[in-house]
């Protein structure tokens, strides 16, 4: 037998059928949500964020990124590999040099909007 407190709480938690139906249509499927969570994990590392912020400004090679950001080339290369595997950066080869840039405008917008959000 439900207690009065349980009954009162459940009344406030009851979802209206129209709202439930609308939410079911709007909510992405489980795989999309998992993929999005994995993407946000990539943004959870300050070294990767520094690299992305530098690449917002200009295409750069590993050596330039390492020198500008104060990291070893090994560290930068490792983080670039993670960013590349998650389709956040792309690269082009010019002779022996490899230049990295943001993969597309989506990445640039995420960085800019994230900066706006934390600076409010």
Give 10's strand partners: none
**Rounded distance, CA 5 to CA 14, Å?**
14
Per-residue model confidence as pLDDT tens digits over 32-66: 999 999 999 999 999 999 999 999 999 999 999 99
pTM of the model: 0.79
Mean pLDDT of the chain: 89
Residue pair 92/74 in contact by the 8 Å Cβ criterion: no
**Rounded distance, CA 119 to CA 116, Å?**
5
Q: In what order do the strands lie in the sheet with 89-94?
A: 60-61, 97-102, 89-94
In the predicted structure, residue 6 carries a pLDDT above the cut 60: no
DSSP H or E stretch at residue 4: helix 4-13
> Which domains does the chain carry?
29-119 (1.10.10.10)
């Amino acid at each position: 037998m439900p207690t009065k407190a349980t009954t009162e709480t459940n009344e406030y938690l009851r979802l209206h059928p129209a709202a439930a139906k609308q939410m079911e249509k709007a909510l992405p499927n489980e795989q999309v949500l998992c993929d999005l969570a994995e993407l946000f994990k990539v943004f959870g590392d300050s070294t990767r964020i520094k690299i992305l912020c530098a690449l917002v400004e200009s295409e750069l090679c590993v050596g330039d990124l390492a020198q500008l950001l104060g990291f070893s080339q090994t560290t930068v290369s490792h983080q670039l590999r993670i960013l590349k595997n998650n389709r956040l950066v792309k690269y082009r080869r010019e002779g022996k040099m490899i230049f990295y840039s943001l993969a597309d405008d989506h990445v640039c917008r995420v960085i800019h909007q994230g900066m706006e959000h934390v600076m409010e």
